[in-house]
Amino acid sequence: MSSARGRLLGGLVLALFGAAMALVVLEVGVRALHLVPDRFWRPDAKLGTALIPGASGWWTQEEHEFFVPVHINDAGRRDLDRALDKPADALRVMLLGDSFVEALQVPIEQTFARGLEQKLAAAIGRPVEVVSMGVSGYGTASEYLWYREVGRRFHPDIVLLSFYPGNDVRNNSPTLEPTLKPVYAADGSLDHVNGGKGAEDGGGRGLLNRSAAYQYIRKLVLTRQPALAERLADWGVLKREALRPVPMESGVPVDYWVFASQPPPEWQDAWAHTEALLSAFKDAVTADGATFVVMVVTAREQIYPDDWAQLQATYPAMHDVQWDLNGPERRVLSWCALNDVRCVPLSPAFVAARDASPRLHWHFDGHWTPAGHALAAETMAEALRASVQ
């Protein structure tokens, strides 16, 4: 009897040891292959969120279209280090935007900022510095606040605002924006941006939540097995806020209503806030003696009809809405014309090049590929060349 117990205990120990070794191998493998993206952001009382100075790691997404090493400089920008004092012979461009400017999807040397710097310098025959400040989730509100508090200290010659209609209009709305909500004073002026309490990918600070293997499996369940994730939330294994359902309006993801020919009424308020912010931005830049330029960033669905068709197949209610994918771009161009602001839409160049290989937007992620960054830099350098020589 004792011999049987010994064999049973020995088998149990071996099984536990094998399971532990399997978990160790899985943990090491996930970390070595960079299957879980690192975190580069922290809450900010004024801007809503900000990059962590000195943070380093890797960035990817669920479909693993890219694995990119990322470093945030000591000034809290994914950019080269720049002194506040501008070199006497250099043209300095201050580039502001959201995740398209942050550009975690490509190595830093392939970003739009680096491409614009090189191409514009070659075109005008003098040194060019592009000071790049992009943060995921930023709208015009956070970008304007950062310029007002920090960016103007760099004394740029040109302030280039990257405007992405796909979510910037929503970001600027105190009602439509779900996470980084701008707070406006009674007179309509911008005060600050709230960071919100969205569930972090890490889910906490415990030992389990520091495990890359756990984070990887958790992410797979949340993104690939929503029904299982729902059950786990019911059982208390997952926090319900971690499910992050896509915000919907009449069966359509809220973000896409900006492209509707007749969006819901709250979008008019969102546009009013957006245009007021653009006016305040222009006034601040002009008062500083710089030139304000707006670059209208492309949306994946605007460039690739098959991507738009796939989206409509995913959300059948979209077939009941009349869409105008170029409508938001035209509205921004109209604002620029009325306010004497140089505005450069990238869509004509992207549409002209979309049938070439490789793609300009990542298929799943939606941001620019290296080819998209290069084309945007080439287009913008040509647009700026004549005005800065």
Please, what is the end-to-end C-alpha distance for the chain in angstroms? 93
Tokens in use for 37?
């993206």
pLDDT of res. 235: 75
What pLDDT is recorded for position 213? 60
pLDDT of the residue at 102 = 98
pLDDT for position 3: 76
Which residue would you say has higher pLDDT here, 292 or 248?
292
Would you place residue 291 in the very low, low, confident or very high pLDDT band (cuts 50, 70, 90)? very high
Q: Which alpha helices (H) appear in the chain, and where do they start and end?
A: 2-32, 99-102, 112-124, 140-149, 168-171, 212-224, 226-234, 266-287, 300-303, 305-314, 327-338, 347-353, 370-388
pLDDT tens per residue across span 69-118: 999 999 999 999 999 999 889 999 999 999 999 999 999 999 999 999 99
d(CA 280, CA 283) in angstroms, rounded, equals: 5
9 or 122, higher pLDDT: 122
Q: Would you state the pLDDT for residue 202?
A: 42
Query: Residue by residue, what is the 3-state secondary structure of 233-264?
Result: HHCCCCCHHHHCCCCEECCEEHHHHHHECCCC
Which pLDDT belongs to residue 139?
A: 98
Give which of 314, 300, 318 is closest to 365, Cα–Cα: 300
Q: How many CA atoms lie within 13 A of 212 on its CB side?
A: 18
User: What is the mean predicted confidence (pLDDT) over 235-253?
Assistant: 76
**pLDDT of amino acid 356:** 87
Alpha helix (H) ranges present in 39-179? Answer: 99-102, 112-124, 140-149, 168-171
Q: Residues 311-350: pLDDT tens digits?
A: 999 999 999 999 999 999 999 999 999 999 999 999 999 9
pLDDT at 29: 64
pLDDT score, position 203: 44
The predicted structure's pLDDT at residue 201: 41
CA distances from 166 to 88, 95, 111 (A): 38, 19, 20
pLDDT at 247 over 80: yes
Confidence of residue 388 (pLDDT cuts 50, 70, 90): confident
Query: Which residue matches tokens 């786990």?
Result: 232
pLDDT tens profile 51-70:
999 999 999 998 899 999 99
pLDDT of residue 84: 96
pLDDT in tens, 255-268: 999 999 999 999 99
Mean pLDDT for the chain overall: 89
Task: Quick: pLDDT tens for 196-241.
Answer: 654 344 444 555 667 766 665 666 555 566 666 567 666 766 666 6
282 pLDDT higher than 90: yes
pLDDT of residue 224: 60
Closest by Cα among 386, 285, 302, 389 to 345: 302
Confidence at residue 198, expressed as pLDDT on a 0 to 100 scale: 43
Across residues 303-316, what is the average pLDDT?
A: 96
State the pLDDT at residue 226.
Answer: 63
In tens, the pLDDT along 169-196 reads 999 999 999 999 999 999 999 999 998 6
So what's the pLDDT on residue 231?
72
Whether 50 shows a pLDDT value over 80: the answer reads yes
